Structure 1
Amino acid sequence: MAKRLLVIATALATASCSTLQAFETREFSAEGTLPSAPASWSAGTGEAGAELARDWVASLEDARLSSLIDEAFAGNPSLAQSLARFHGAQAAARIDGARFLPRLDGSTTYTRTERNSGAGSDSFGLGLSASWETDLWGALRDNSRASGLNAEAAAEDVRAAQLSVAGLVAKGWFSLIEARQQTELAERDVATRQSSLDLTERRFARGLVRSSDVRTARSALASSQAALASRQRVEASSARGLETLLGRYPSASLAPEGDFPELAALGGLGRPVDLLGRRPDVRAARDRLDAAGLQSDAAAKALIPSLSLRGSSGTGGIDVSDMFDLDTLVSSITASLVAPIFDGGTLLAQRDQVYANAEGLVAGYVATVLTAWQESEDAIHADAILARRVENLRQAYEEAAAAEDLVVREYARGVSTIFELLTAQSRRISAESQYISARRERVTNRVDLYLALAGDFSAAQSADPAAHTGE
């Protein structure tokens, strides 16, 4: 009998579809709207098609940085949020996947009936019910596949968050190193200004200079002390910012170690088209676009009839023992065919809404790819320019330091004035400060380049989303 009902319901569903308007699904693709990419980076060096160097964190040769990135993976709250969203997307995918299967429910009932005469009766029941929505047109399958793709996109979001956190920690670490070096420079400047003041006061005591020279030297010392205070504040702020990334209390107790790494020349950078399969944000945008296409299919299929089956069996009577008496067993099976006739345009509007969302994701995917290409080209182009800038500032600093030494000796002999001395010292301080900042800027840009190209690093394996799912 159940087989007959299923055959009849299927035939009715097919007949009903022939009376409804045919709604065709749409293809959503971004390939045709992407500009053609060159075979190699227009701003870069390296062999076309070459693979990107592996493990960019290790290439910076800073063991402390590697340990800090591992610490951030364990304690960074933003990364934990991304991981939680991934787990939620996984659960949503399991929910949609479960809709393929029949549902079975068990129940026990107790009913007390009271009459006006004061008499009453009890009844007890035990039952099972099963229901199953058949996936005649594949709508459930489309939604399940879409949820799976959204879960994959959420996993890519976690990888993007890992890459971002690693980059932020690296840049924060190098900013802290710069802040420490700038503080040390300011401390040396204070010592230098104090030495100049002592020299000026001795010369004033011998009547070789005027009192205005002493006051000028004192003013220069006070300015240097004020600059030192500013540098100390920046260093403490840099330490707190990095500690927050690590998930630590921001106590400004993190002390930098070492110097900036020596950067090797750029090697294989891959091709622009490689980013489409390597950058996690691009992969996530692609997954969400594909999921939106499947959801649009499911929305269109909601306009055609659906078939569901329901069956139930139960026992019961006036005594508890009747629940276990098979002679009281009653069973039923129902096949229902539901076709939308009039809903005020709700289903059509929902379909159009899903279509519009998918079209927006097409544009979003294109924007993501273009941004990825732009970030890569900018970082590649800046790498060579910053290398030249560092070299030029190194020469400027060395020449300024040599000029300062000469003026100091001349001032001690009475050949130069206090203003020439202070000017030479200020020029050297400024040149050295710019040289430190340029070195930090260059290594920070190299980190940005690795982030733009989605370079791999071994620390990421410790935060692989699959490692947190038991898979």
Structure 2
Amino acid sequence: MRRIIYFILAVNLSGCSIFTPPAAIVTDRIMTPAQWSTVHLHTDIKTTWQGIAAYPQLTEYIQEALAYNPQLTSERYNIDIAVALVKQTAAGQYPQIDAYLGSGRQRNNQNITNSGSVNIDTGWEIDYLGKLNDLAKAATLDAKQAILNYKQQQSNTIALISQQWFDLIFYQQQLKLINKRLQNLQQNLAIIENGYDQGLKQSLDVYLARADLARAQAAKQENLEALKNTQRQLELSLGRYPAASIHANGDLTFAAIPVPSGLPSELIQRRFDIQQVMLALNAENFRVAHAYKNRFPSLSLSLSGGTSSPELSNLLQSNSLVWSLFANASASLFDAGALTAKQAQQTAKTQQAAISVTRVTLQAFSEVETALAAEVTLANRELQQQNAEYYFNIAEQLAFEQYIAGLTDYITVLESQRSAFDAQTSLLAIKTTRIQNRIKLLLALGGDIPTSLTVNTDKDLSRVNE
């Protein structure tokens, strides 16, 4: 035992390079530009997230989803699992103590003897190389990853609920447009049929008017189907039964809020998924160190003590106490390269983790650049579509007036009505697309979400750091 203690002291004092683990694997340096390549507006990122919080009903739905969304609730338990693994892994650094209490009776011929025993066994692996500490650090980083993943899932859930809510508004407003168009078509049909009865209009005009009315009624059924599907999707995301009965009270003006930007270099600190893969890389580096140190001898101490007596009342007397103390050293003499291969395997996993950091970071930059570029084009499209809607509405009114006056045919009226309706529907669609893109941009930029829209995870972090 004394030799083993001398060996441990020699290792710690010498700092011999043979026990130094391989250098940590790092990710390749990513060239980050000073500014985004897309022209955009600059404002505080928190301001735009507050734009979502400005809708009371949407805020209520988000809070409901954070409490009852099944996928998010499942992710919450991953934090508990990770925290338990931290404690389980850290326990390996401390002595393990087991106690045994036994009692028996034995008969030999006419003699009956009683016996009782108490034993305490203690085992402790001496972490002289720090390999158990490496595992504990890796487990701690895994738990922090679980918290970051939950935060990312919170952001994803907020974005999902917001997108589905605005989609529902789109279909509701589109249904209003269709109902208005149906009302106009029915009025037009009544006027044309009246003119036909008086011999002023042709039968072709009547058939065309009836066909256009039937087409609009079919479009209404198609819209109702899409509306019901969107309602069910939103209800499922809220953890409700998909009864298709939910309603959205809001408008499509969210995209008018200025675009947040920040600097590309700030994205790494804001995105939860980037922080997560960086922690994953650090955790894998600790596992490489553990795999390397695991190739060297393991040292442990074991202490056993106990007592036995035919009388239970004498078990705790000092004259019956027996104890033993052992120091053990164990090492693999031949494993056909298994431990070396395990280290190589862990090194390859760490290389993959380093590549994941690069991949996730570049993907994050791409998401922001794509969304920023779409902001510009969608804003221009909305402006042009507003002009188109204005002119088509005037053309529709003039075409019908000229038809009543006998200056044009009904086909011209139909074309102008369809164009006006399509322009109105397209404007709604572009507004909705701008909102969906804005939500994607907020998600891509990351950053702090108002506390009214999130579940606080500070207590979880304190549990990890205990």
The normalised TM-score by structure 1 is 0.92
User: Is the counterpart of residue 43 in structure 1 residue 1 in structure 2?
Assistant: no
Q: Out of 418, 426, 441, which is 2:418 matched to?
A: 426
Whole-angstrom distance in 1 between the partners of 2:59 and 2:429: 22
Q: Out of 87, 90, 93, which is 2:80 matched to?
A: 87
The within-5 A match list for 1:154-303 is 154-264=146-256, 266=258, 269-303=261-295
Whole-angstrom distance in 2 between the partners of 1:44 and 1:86: 40
The within-5 A match list for 1:32-111 is 33-46=28-41, 52-54=44-46, 56-60=48-52, 61-111=54-104
Whole-angstrom distance in 2 between the partners of 1:65 and 1:43: 30
User: Is the counterpart of residue 463 in structure 1 residue 461 in structure 2?
Assistant: no
Q: Secondary structure at the match of 1:433?
A: helix
Q: Which residue of 1 aligns with 2:136?
A: 144
Whole-angstrom distance in 2 between the partners of 1:469 and 1:372: 25
Paired residue type of 2:24: E
Whole-angstrom distance in 1 between the partners of 2:110 and 2:233: 77
Q: Which residue of 2 aligns with 1:363?
A: 355
Going from structure 1 to structure 2, the CA distance change for 1:362 and 1:460 (only over 3 Å counts) comes to: farther
The structural deviation recorded for 1:345 is 2.3
Whole-angstrom distance in 1 between the partners of 2:186 and 2:256: 40
The structural deviation recorded for 1:143 is 0.8
The structural deviation recorded for 1:206 is 0.8
Q: Secondary structure at the match of 2:45?
A: coil
The structural deviation recorded for 1:325 is 2.7
Across the aligned residues of Structure 1 and Structure 2, the Cα RMSD in angstroms comes to 2.4
The normalised TM-score by structure 2 is 0.93
Q: Confirm or deny: 8 A CA contact 2:48 2:257 kept in the other structure.
A: no
Q: Confirm or deny: 8 A CA contact 1:162 1:460 kept in the other structure.
A: no
Q: Secondary structure at the match of 1:54?
A: helix
- Figure out how many residues of one structure are paired with residues of the other and give that number: 461
Q: Which residue of 2 aligns with 1:382?
A: 374
The structural deviation recorded for 1:39 is 0.4
Paired residue type of 1:351: Q
> Over residues 273-323 of structure 1, what are the superposed CA-to-partner deviations in whole Å (9 max), with x where a residue is unaligned?
211111000000000000000110010000011111111111112332342
Going from structure 1 to structure 2, the CA distance change for 1:371 and 1:171 (only over 3 Å counts) comes to: same
Whole-angstrom distance in 2 between the partners of 1:113 and 1:12: 52
Paired residue type of 1:239: Q
Going from structure 1 to structure 2, the CA distance change for 1:9 and 1:23 (only over 3 Å counts) comes to: closer
> Over residues 246-296 of structure 1, what are the superposed CA-to-partner deviations in whole Å (9 max), with x where a residue is unaligned?
111111111111211254464551111211111000000000000000110
Q: Confirm or deny: 8 A CA contact 1:69 1:459 kept in the other structure.
A: no
Unmatched tracts of structure 1, length 5 or more: none
Q: Which residue of 2 aligns with 1:391?
A: 383
Whole-angstrom distance in 1 between the partners of 2:64 and 2:12: 60
Going from structure 1 to structure 2, the CA distance change for 1:204 and 1:128 (only over 3 Å counts) comes to: same
Unmatched tracts of structure 2, length 5 or more: none
The percentage of aligned residue pairs carrying the same residue is: 27
Paired residue type of 2:197: A
Q: Confirm or deny: 8 A CA contact 1:9 1:336 kept in the other structure.
A: no
